């Protein structure tokens, strides 16, 4: 072994730098994730009797903004394709759909959206509103 200099191949990979990078990425993701879930801006009608919207992940929310754009959860859809998207999504959920419509949206559009949802197989349809401010 006179000619051996002690420099051979390593049979193990050093994973410490990899773990360090992954931990930094995890921390960055955990800090920025809450900021990425912005809600859709909708001026909801107000009423006295309002129940809170369930916050579980199975809740399917259909939003109609004041400009007439329709969003299924966070994704924009057109009225003609709404039925097929709703039908696909409610297969894995409880067939409950919550409708959030801006108070300036024409009644006719709200009725069309509700008819599309019913035709797609929605069994229960909830309407989302805000609580009226109470007078002192």
Q: What one-character-per-residue DSSP string does the chain give? A: -TT--S----SS---HHHHHHHHHHHHHHHHHHHHH-PPP-----EES--PPPP-STT-EEEEE-TTS-EEETTEEE-HHHHHHHHHHHHTTS-SEEEEEE-TTS-HHHHHHHHHHHHHTT--EEEE--EEPPPP-
Q: Domain tally for the chain?
A: 1
Domain of residue 107, residue span: 46-131
> Residue 90 is part of a domain; what is its CATH number?
3.30.420.270
Residue 110 lies in a domain: yes
Q: Flag whether 39 is in a domain.
A: no
Region 102-109: mean pLDDT is 86
Please state the rounded mean pLDDT for residues 4-16: 72
Domain annotation covers residue 41: no
The pTM for the full model equals 0.58
Residue 77 counted as domain residue? yes
């Amino acid at each position: 072994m006179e000619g051996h200099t002690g420099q051979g191949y390593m049979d193990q990979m050093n994973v410490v730098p990899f773990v360090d990078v992954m931990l930094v990425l995890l921390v960055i993701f955990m800090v920025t994730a809450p900021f990425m879930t912005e809600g859709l801006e909708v001026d909801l009608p107000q009423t006295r009797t309002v129940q809170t919207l369930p916050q579980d992940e199975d809740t399917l929310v259909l939003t109609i903004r004041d400009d007439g754009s329709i969003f299924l959860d966070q994704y924009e859809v057109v009225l003609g394709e709404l039925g097929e998207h709703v039908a696909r999504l409610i297969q894995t959920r409880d067939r409950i759909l919550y409708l959030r419509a801006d108070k300036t949206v024409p009644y006719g559009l709200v009725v069309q959206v509700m008819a599309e949802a019913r035709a797609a197989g929605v069994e229960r349809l909830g309407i989302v509103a805000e609580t009226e401010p109470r007078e002192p």
